[in-house]
Amino acid sequence: MKTSSVLASLAAAATLFGCVVAPVPVARPYYGEPVMMAPPPPRVEYVGPPPVPGQIWIDGFWNWTGNRHYWVPGRWEAPRPGYYWAPHRWERDGDHWRQSGGHWERHHEREHDQYDHRDWR
């Protein structure tokens, strides 16, 4: 009886040992050669409530794989005090396009924060 309890405990521990909770990978923006094809219009994402109160929504964006655009879905992220999120964007550069990756910027770098992402949902 005691041996079966020990075996059951070891089996449960081995099962839990195999469980890994990993963060969702964040796609890196494309910084390679200029892209000749304009990105599609942004997708409409239906955003539910934040998983943790106070988190902000980071919009999804079109990324480039080297031969096509693909959509990177938006995500919830904890705000950073003194910073705001400057979103990903594509900019025309002559006859091609270049991507600027989204990033956190200090509030004092801008006079007016046009990307006010307070959780108003």
β partners of residue 86 = 103
Does the residue 102 lie in any domain?
Answer: yes
Instruction: For residues 99 and 85, give the distance between their C-alpha atoms in angstroms, rounded to a whole number.
Output: 16
Does the residue 14 lie in any domain?
Answer: no
Q: Which residue has the tokens 């890994």?
A: 20
pLDDT at 3: 63
Helices and strands (H, E) in the chain, number of each type: 1, 8
The number of folded domains in the chain is: 1
Does the residue 32 lie in any domain?
Answer: no
Does the residue 95 lie in any domain?
Answer: yes
Per-residue pLDDT of the chain (121 residues; tens, 9 = 90+): 566 665 555 555 555 444 433 344 455 655 567 888 999 999 999 999 999 999 999 999 999 888 899 999 999 999 999 999 999 999 998 999 998 888 999 987 544 445 555 544 4
pLDDT at 67: 87
Does the residue 104 lie in any domain?
Answer: yes
pLDDT at 73: 95
Domain span at residue 104 reads: 78-121
